[in-house]
Structure 1
Amino acid sequence: MPHLYLVDGSGYIFRAYHRLPPLTNKHGEPVGAVYGYTTMLWKLVDELNKADGPTHMAVILDKSEHTFRNEMYDQYKAHRPPAPEDLVPQFPVIRDATRAFSLPCIEELGWEADDLIASYTKAALAQGWQVTIVSSDKDLMQLMTDPSVDMLDTMNNRRLGPEATVEKFGVGPDKLGEVLALMGDSVDNVPGVPGIGPKTAAKLILEYGTVDAVLEAAPSMKPSKMRDNLIEHADKARLSRKLVELACDVPLPDPLDELELKGIPDAPLRAFLEHHGFRTLLARLSSVAEAPVDSPEPVPLQDDPPCNHDGYETVVDEAGLDRWIAEARHQGWLAIDTETTGVDATRAELVGVSIALAPNKACYIPIAHGGTDMFAEKPLQIARETVLARLKPLLEDPAVLKIGHNLKYDMIVLSRLGVSVAPYDDTIVMSFDLDAGLHGHGMDELAATHLSHSCIAYKDVVGTGKSQLGFAQVDLKAATRYAAEDADVTLRLWRRFKPRLAYESVTRVYETVDRPLVSVIAGMECAGVKVDSTALARLSTEFSHQIAALEEEIHGIAGFKFTIGSPKQLGDVLFEKMGIKGGRKGKSGVYSTDVNEMERIAADKDSPGRVIAAKVLDWRQLSKLKSTYTDALQAQINPETGRVHTSYSLTGAQTGRLSSTDPNLQNIPIRTEVGRQIRDAFVAEPGNVILAADYSQIELRLAAHIADVPQLREAFERGDDIHNMTAQELFGEVNRDTRGRAKTINFAILYGISRWGLAGRLDVTADEAQAMIDRYFDRFPGINRYIADTIAEAKEKGYTTTLFGRKTHFARLKSSVQHERQGAERAAINAPIQGTSADIIKRAMVRMGPALAEAGLPNVRMLMQVHDELVFELPEGDVEAARPVIERVMATAAEPSVRLSVPLGVEIGVGPSWGAAH
């Protein structure tokens, strides 16, 4: 028997939009809803085919907002907010997605999708077909009066029959329209009768049968507010009955026979996915006829079943734990995640461990659940020592792969308990290496993007505000659902990312740069660095005095006191009271006082606000340094170690550079006296010294190699001062002024700076700045070619690559918004250079430990990585032996993968503190 499936496309669209974060494709177009819709539709078609489902199928969409119901009642759907701004341009693309599956996409002016679905349902029943409506819309439940009609609720993965209407509304499908009319609908602005909800409406309809019968009986009802409302709003009730009634006689835009389902042809779907850069979905296509001949065939991915939270196991006895361990060892891989008491891995206590071996095959092993009071009742669980003793051999077994998401955190937690984790894969790093620049890499976002799955929110497990619990206080059932899901989702992501690595040519950067760095970073975070709290306290006091003095000067210039940290008050002082020209207000009506605006005013020799702007910039820097470093660092000293343990992110910077938080080491000023004073507080333990090894002008050296600039290459080979050489080339002489300008130009050009940007930095006119840029390109034409070629290639591919194959995607390169497009172009120019620099220092970090160990220097510890610099702590007696090893590893870090045409210079300094080592 023919079986017609009618998909309520509008419901799919809004589910997809709200389920996924904002995404853009390689053309800079918003595609979050498109991606979600495509994955949901594919999943539906695939599952139905496997289940011997439809013979015919169509997706039904709303064509326009104005229908015959608006003619009947002009307030119908009047209160609905307009579609989100970034969703509107996705509507036509979603229609393209539907047609890419070779499915009919049906819509008709003047009719709602529900009316089309009702009309197709009636026509199919007349021919003896079965009909399934893919939706959970209550209005469409009216159509299940015939036993040949059912509904498929894909959100909850269940079939709905007439009993679902009884369960939800208290009446069958034949009476649902009557109930809906009485209760009304605030979303569609169907008025109904005030004060009558679903239960009262169902009771009335069960007793009287129809809306008309209820209204006829109203005058004889017992006096009540409900009776009065029925009498007063009878006309609205009758109107509502017409509004909720589905039109079943709409002329069918496409005949039933043309809805036959004939499978999904490869070509149109492949073309659609390639156009939008949906690589994860492309990998699911079994045919790779259009893939490069030198690319390995991708492993076709099967859709995983929905997460079954109730099927996860809570392991509370040793026999169960041994069973999971044995199966993991036999299989050869497992996903693992830890639950702890906090976000600081160097202080958090372990609460439990979750393991996943296959989709929906996951468990949670609680070890520290129960109240904080020693007399509080604790649930049945295995002792921590027993769990760790059993897990340690498994987690350290070289024959078993451990898979984690942001595994660095779990490594640190477990290492403090004597457990190492190796070998391993990390899905957050895989995601970054595959899709840097396209979206975030947190588990929740990746689950939504790649699995169409919404993870359980942490706040939904522990609560919020004053009632928030620690995870150790969460009951084991809820804890298991949350924790085991983390491991399950991690495994599912790994199953998708692993085949893509080779297919998308990022295996090298993952395997030789980023993956091995995870354990190196974990070791650095565990080691931490000692800070002199006394010196920090002294600096805080000095900064307080300087901040107070600056405030007094600023208030004196303004003529009255105001809150300097308030953008509104500062903007009013500068642009209203002092009359500074060129102020620009944002949407809130407040003048912008951001750093660019303040630097503009401070650089304007004729501006009446030049002095106050400069002092405000000084005040901001001192205030930030005081709060971020001299004050915060004292609070961040770990009481157990007496050291500060910064947290590094391998995915925080789009180009591949490491970023750090708590504290952010990258933001300490490099060349100011204040920055040096802060670095002086980073000290070595007694008997040790700090060694700082810094790449010298590495980005300029890489530019000379990548852009093939002979003058720069030869200058680096000779050991010349590159800024002196540039000054001579551009200005014909070398002095302090021309060298300073040359230095600014050298670095600014590599960041794709505009004439206006360079003019601001050099305090010259835009025409003068353009003349300098033109002269630079005349002297170094390779740089100009590199910039043009890089932008062209990035626009064609949607991404740039480093010398080691790291991809950075730029979704805004084809944006219609000029400043977005230009910003993306500047970032694309710099990414191959800065990204290669990041790859090189990462390779050096990975090789450093083995090289030092081989040299018999186990007490040399790498503590920090800041910009192009590595910072070590080592015994004074090891300095002479360690210096050449560190220099050699850093200087040759690119080899043998890449042989540079310029030498990598490494400058090394030693001292009792980080500041003194410079």
Structure 2
Amino acid sequence: MPKTSPTAAAKPVAVKAPAKGAHVFLVDGSSYIFRAYHALPPLNRKSDGLQVNAVLGFCNMLWKLLRDMPLDNRPTHLAIVFDKSEITFRNKLYPDYKAHRPPAPDDLIPQFALIREAVRAFDLPCLEQIGFEADDLIATYAREAGERGATTTIVSSDKDLMQLVTDKVTMFDTMKDRRIGIAEVIEKFGVGPEKVVEVQALAGDSTDNVPGVPGIGVKTAAQLIVEYGDLETLLLRAGEIKQPKRREALIENAEKARISRQLVLLDDKVELEVPLDELAVHEPDARKLIAFLKAMEFSALTRRVAEYSQIDPADVEADAGMKSGASVFAPLPLAEKVDESGNAPKGAASGDLFARGDTPTPPSPASGRGSLPGKPGGGKEDKAASLKGTPISLATARAEAARKTPVDRSKYQTIRSLEQLNAWIARAHEAGHFAIEAKANSIDPMQAEICGIALALAPNDACYIPLSHKQSGDGAGLFAAGLAPDQIKTEDALEALRPLLESAGILKIGFNIKFNAVMFAQHGIVLRNHDDAQLMSYALDAGRNSHGLDQLAQTWLGHASISHGELTGSGKGKLTFDQVAIDKATAYSAEDADVILRLWRVLKPRLAAERMTTVYETLERPLISVLARMERRGISIDRQVLSRLSGEFAQTAARVEAEIQEIAGEPINVGSPKQLGDIIFGKMNLPGGTKTKTGAWSTSAQVLDDLAEQGHEFPKKILEWRQVSKLKSTYTDALPTYVHPQTHRVHTTYALAATTTGRLSSNEPNLQNIPVRTEDGRKIRRAFVATPGHKLVSADYSQIELRLLAEIADIPVLKQAFRDGLDIHAMTASEMFGVPIKGMPAEVRRRAKAINFGIIYGISAFGLANQLGIAREEASAYIKKYFERFPGIRAYMDATRDFCRRYGYVETLFGRKCHYPDIKASNASVRSFNERAAINARLQGTAADIIRRAMIRMEDALEAKKLSAQMLLQVHDELIFEVPDDEVAATLPVVQHVMQDAPFPAVALSLPLHVDARAADNWDEAH
């Protein structure tokens, strides 16, 4: 009797939409990967040694679901659900959520991408959505299925999913062949599924770092919930509990319990990208599945599938793409730092690339569909036809073509002679544009050595020019001192490339090309006429997309690039790039150049299609060269000042430490959180103690701040000691280590694509975070000095965001106050409290100042109360009165929030879009955070655009006046210059004029900007 295909028996083809009688299977893929990995012993593919035990376990599970389940219990609809690699709303609610999970095993990392390929080989939907965990998607699909009368089986044993169990939803642990229904949930938690969240909120979860209430486990939590009904009732009646420790723990940790409930409660209202109807099981391509299994060398499973589908496996070639191992199926982007779900680290900034708005949508991995820019829901053939020949159609066509042209590393060339290089240079001249990516042995472009340069002229037409790769050593360490053979000398290669790089008529396309520009400038080459694919992505998608090269390659090209960690390793054996073998460096570097060129082709037409060309051309691209020159100039520091400050801070720390010892009444290591916790919560028995997962008392800054506010001296001293110790270690001790050996100056590196609002950030060292609110912090700025015969000039926008608030919200009284040069905080206090400006008490002005600045950042009554040390009711009354006195501000905030909720972004006065895709999140805390951020972003983003415009114009303005001042640093709303002593008087008005007129002619402000500019020998005195 002929047999059907592996999945033909799993589902009648006629079933298209879940309805009564349908059976939806939802596989928790993210957690199942680890179960498969740990369930099977190490299994290496014979052909290349790649470990594939998790892949095999996963494939066996899929086969069991599709073929070996009883006929009356097979899925009609099935999907594999994974976590997406980025921060979810839970991390925004509680930053430490899942913060302590260990990294994935090294031999599991390469299997993540292969498992996703396995799912596709089975022709099953592979689902993941930015901003949500797999559990949230499963909860939403299960709810929808239930509403249609279908039953759902969740393939998982994860306790977090047990809250979803109902009479229509069960769980199935395939590894133990065990079903989990309502009775099994009650057995585990002591309550029914509908109360699981309440119990988890109290008990917490050390694995996910959900705090819960210290001292309360699952058993006790269940007893309390059974007695009081739910968490909120329990917390409201906690004072009735007889056990003193339990009562105090609940009262003191009530907010943690509420936060914990929000963390463990699954979101079942996710706006699904792939409809439930599209999960219908259908007959896969059995030959494609066999080809995959043969490539994985799973002989037993290959034989079972072949027998069932009546196909001779000898007639099917192994999938060649799968046979190339880890070099092709590299880990997911940033996999060298993946977390336990196979995803990138949660510190990575990210967002939904196409969550909302009129933007082109790439094809979904599950549905194969996408939409054109324009009205939401586009993508139909008739629309495509009507838009033919427009920027929108070009953007869409480029995106589709990019995903259909696979990267072929075998076509990359290694350039080992000047003759070969000159041939490539001639081709680049003819093409008129090319992608370039220089590789270095350091992240500091001022001191890095160029290891090689990659060029790309077209997809798969790329090369790598090795310049300084080291030769493998023979018994003398990992590498010998000499260079590997057959490399062009760096000087010769750069001289050959100089005309090309300096040509204004040939476009150089890079990714964070500023890094390359600084390195080339160190060799006397000025990079002219360049585009930056990273900044294009940033201009288009700030706030809803990560702008890393690997992530963009995955998003736009569907391509998993070779990871840097795969190339260099990690830990003690980590290689610098010049130690990487040239063949591997070629594959990695040429691929980068190839991907950069492809991304540029995709993103460039989007700028026009989405009307973001002006933002990119006026705010992003021109700033690259400006910042590159600033980075190379650096700034001088006075080591003696830092040395003296280090001594002062050391003495202060020692004094405070002695006071701590005296208060403690015993010797104590102040740097030991455990000892501090034992003193504070054990010996002193202060309130508010919570324990970490290791069982030690928490002595976090928040815990100590709370205790200090209550008037306890010991935590105050601990905070003082920590602050002065950090100033010493982070700044006064560390800054001298950043001094360049040749320039004897400190050179920071600026990042243009690091924030949602357009603000710059700096690193190595971070000069934008030097504290200025404390006297000790301001002392550090004194170490930044002018060279002899010069002064440092600090030019700072005065209260620019308040001015922009008055302008955009159109508040007449505030605008007039700024025009009249009044003390804006005193004026606000006078308006609010009826106190005359003359002779106004300092405390009244301070309160008005806190409200003025707090309103911009969406401060709450709770936050204002903490800042001013007043009751929350009083703070609430202040805020209410403020809005009553300035109703236009409330109207502005409401209008901005409503606009962002409708379109997913806010816009600065200069057209920059700051995206906040989570502003419609179902979680109230996440939604509130995004609303405040969006309201502030319009002001902060406009201020950032204004100072960018000033920086872009500044050098030409100074040169026109024949002034030799040099712009050195940008710190938020401030620019720092080094100016010859005899030019200070002439320079100050030029700088002020350029900064104050920066908005014109693009934006004509009715309210003038004001810039304070002063000159001094050091930064602190000039500020």
Please, what TM-score do these two structures have when normalized by structure 2? 0.67
Report which of the two structures shows the higher radius of gyration computed on alpha carbons: 1
Instruction: Tell me by how many angstroms 1:882 deviates.
Output: 1.2
Q: Deviation of residue 88 (structure 1)?
A: 9.2
Give, in whole Å, the separation in 2 of the partners of 1:588 and 1:286: 61
Which residue in the other structure is 1:96 paired with? 274
Is 2:407 the partner of 1:307?
yes
Question: Is it true that 1:703 corresponds to 2:805 in the alignment?
Answer: yes
Q: Is the CA contact 2:391–2:606 (under 8 Å) kept in the aligned structure 1?
A: no
How much does 1:306 deviate? Answer: 2.3
Contact 1:628–1:663 (CA under 8 A) maintained in structure 2:
no
Is 1:862 aligned with 2:967? Answer: yes
Specify the SS of the correspondent of 1:774: helix
CA distance in 2, matches of 1:349, 1:278: 46
Query: Does residue 699 of structure 2 align to residue 603 of structure 1?
Result: no
Aligned-residue offset at 1:456: 1.5
Alignment of 1:224-243 (within 5 A): none
CA distance in 2: counterparts of 1:584 and 1:427, whole angstroms: 47
Alignment partner, residue 237 of structure 1:
none
Q: Which of 21, 38, 51 is the matching residue for 2:85?
A: 21
Q: Please state how far the C-alpha of 1:716 moved relative to its aligned partner.
A: 0.7
- Matched with 1:332 is 432
Give the secondary structure class of the aligned counterpart of 1:824: helix
| Residue 817 in structure 1 maps to residue 982 in structure 2 | no
Look up the SS of the partner of 1:425 in the other structure.
Answer: strand
Paired residue secondary structure (1:915): helix
Task: Determine the structure 2 residue equivalent to 1:682.
Answer: 784
- Cα distance change on mapping 1:41 and 1:854 into 2, 3 Å: farther
Aligned CA distance change for structure 1 residues 268 and 657 (closer, same or farther; 3 Å): closer
| 2:468–2:483 Cα contact (<8 Å) kept | no
SS at match of 1:644: coil
1:842-881 residue pairs with structure 2 within 5 A?
842-857=948-963, 859-881=964-986
2:848 is aligned with 1:742: yes
What is aligned with 2:305? Answer: 143
CA deviation after TM superposition for structure 1 residue 633, in Å = 0.7
- Deviation, 1:37, is 8.4
Q: Displacement of 1:798 after TM fit?
A: 2.0
Distance 1:5 1:691, change over 3 A: farther
The equivalent position to 1:348 in structure 2, one of 448, 464, 468, is: 448
Shift of 1:297: 4.6
Asked if 1:649 is matched to 2:751, the reply is yes
Partner of 2:588: 482
1:552 is matched with 658
Change (3 A) 1:294 1:909: farther
> After superposition, where does 1:142-181 map in structure 2 within 5 Å?
142-145=304-307, 146-147=310-311, 156=321
Q: C-alpha separation between the residues in 2 aligned to 1:24 and 1:6?
A: 35
Tell me, in whole angstroms, the C-alpha distance in 2 between the residues paired with 1:63 and 1:471: 49
How far apart are residue 889 of structure 1 and its match?
0.7
| 1:848-889 CA distance string (max 9 Å, x none) | 1111111112x2111011121000001111112211111111
* Residue 1011 of structure 2 corresponds to residue 906 of structure 1: yes
The aligned residue for residue 635 of structure 1 is 737
Which is further off, 890-899 or 140-149?
140-149
Query: Equivalent residue for 1:673?
Result: 775
State how far apart, in whole Å, the 2-side matches of 1:709 and 1:405 are: 42
Write out aligned runs for 1:187-198 (5 A). none
In 2, the alpha carbon distance for the partners of 1:764 and 1:820 equals 27
AA at the equivalent of 2:456: A
**C-alpha distance after superposition, 1:115-157 (max 9, x if no partner):** x758x96xxxxxxxx9877854843553335458877988936
What's the secondary structure of 1:665's corresponding residue? coil
Compared CA separation, residues 835 and 595, structure 1 to 2 (3 A): farther
Q: Pick the aligned partner of 2:462 from 362, 379, 388.
A: 362
Counterpart of 1:378, as a letter, is: A
**1:622 alignment partner, one of 705, 724, 728:** 724
Deviations 1:541-564 (A, max 9, x none): 111001111111122222233333
More deviation in 497-506 or 421-430? 497-506
Matched to 1:861, the amino acid is: Q
Q: What is the identity, as a one-letter code, of the residue corresponding to 1:872? A: F
Number of equivalent positions: 764
Contact 1:351–1:471 (8 Å) recurs in 2: yes
Task: Describe the shift of the 1:591–1:782 C-alpha distance in structure 2 as closer, same or farther (beyond 3 A).
Answer: farther
SS in 2 for 1:479: helix
Q: Which amino acid aligns with 1:144?
A: A
Q: Are residue 521 (structure 1) and residue 638 (structure 2) matched?
A: no
Give CA deviations for 1:653-700 in whole Å, capped at 9, x if unaligned.
332211111221122122432223211111111111100000000010
- Verify the 8 A CA contact 1:4 1:131 in the aligned structure 2: no
Tell me if the contact between 1:25 and 1:438 (Cα under 8 Å) persists in the aligned partners: no
Q: Could you tell me how far apart the structure 1 residues matched to 2:978 and 2:288 are? A: 72
Deviation string, structure 1 residues 178-229 (Cα, Å, up to 9, x no partner): xxxxxxxxxxxxxxxxxxxxxxxxxxxxxxxxxxxxxxxxxxxxxxxxxxxx
How far apart are the structure 2 equivalents of 1:5 and 1:323? 54
Letter of the 2:485 counterpart: P
The aligned runs of 1:128-527 (5 Å cut-off) are 136=293, 138=298, 139=301, 142-145=304-307, 146-147=310-311, 156=321, 287=383, 297-299=393-395, 300-301=397-398, 302=401, 303-371=403-471, 376=482, 378-527=484-633
Change (3 A) 1:716 1:428: same
Deviations 1:546-598 (A, max 9, x none): 11111111222222333334444434433343333344555665555444443
Are residues 743 and 266 of structure 1, via their aligned partners in 2, closer, same or farther at CA, if it must alter by over 3 Å? closer
Aligned with 1:864: secondary structure?
A: strand
Deviates more, 1:579-588 or 1:533-542: 579-588
Q: Which amino acid is 2:274 matched to? A: D
Counterpart residue type for residue 346 of structure 1:
M
For 1:282 and 1:423, locate their aligned partners in 2 and report how far apart those are by CA, in whole Å. Answer: 36
Shifted more, 689-698 versus 611-620: the winner is 611-620
For the structure 1 residues 519 and 603, does the alpha-carbon distance in structure 2 shift closer, same or farther, using more than 3 Å as the test? same
Aligned positions of 1:64-79 closer than 5 A = 65=155, 75-76=176-177
Distance 1:818 1:789 in 2: 19
Secondary structure of 2:975's counterpart equals: strand
Judged with a 3 Å threshold, the aligned counterparts in structure 2 of structure 1 residues 503 and 682 are, in CA distance, closer, same or farther, namely same
Distance 1:781 1:155 in 2: 67
Asked whether the 8 Å contact 1:636–1:644 carries over to 2, the reply is yes
Q: Give the C-alpha shift of residue 363 in structure 1.
A: 0.4
| Post-superposition offset of 1:763 | 1.0
CA contact (8 A) 1:600 1:760 kept: no
Alignment partners' CA distance in 2, 1:309 and 1:639: 39
Q: Is contact 1:337–1:486 with CA below 8 Å preserved after alignment?
A: yes
Cα displacement string for residues 265-308 of structure 1 (whole angstroms, at most 9, x for unaligned residues): 99999998679x99999799893699999985552221242222
Is the 8 Å Cα contact of residues 364 and 370 (structure 2) preserved in structure 1?
no
Who is 2:344 aligned against? none
CA–CA separation in structure 2 for the residues paired with 1:279 and 1:415: 45
Contact kept, 8 Å, 2:498 with 2:525, in 1: the verdict is: yes
Q: CA, structure 1 residues 475+798, in 2 after alignment: closer, same or farther (shift >3 Å)?
A: same
Structure 2 CA distance, aligned partners of 1:383 and 1:738? Answer: 69
Q: Secondary structure at the match of 2:1020?
A: coil
The aligned residue for residue 893 of structure 1 is 998
- CA-to-aligned-CA distance 1:20-60 (integer Å, 9 cap, x gap): 6237699x99xxx99x989x989x99xxxxxxxxxxxxxxx
Aligned CA RMSD, in angstroms, stands at 4.6
Cross-structure match for 1:884: 989
1:106 equivalent to 2:280? Answer: yes
Distance in 2, Cα, partners of 1:335 & 1:4: 47
- Is 1:772 the counterpart of 2:878? The answer is yes
TM-aligned CA distance change 1:96 to 1:88, over 3 Å:
farther
Identity of aligned residues (%): 41
Contact 2:754 2:761 survives alignment (8 Å): yes
Q: Which secondary structure state, in structure 2, belongs to the residue aligned with residue 900 of structure 1? A: coil
1:717 maps to 819
1:530 maps to a residue whose letter is S
CA drift at 1:438? 2.4
8 Å CA contact retained: 2:27, 2:155: no
Matched, 1:692 2:794: yes
Structure 1 residue 473, shift from structure 2 partner: 2.7
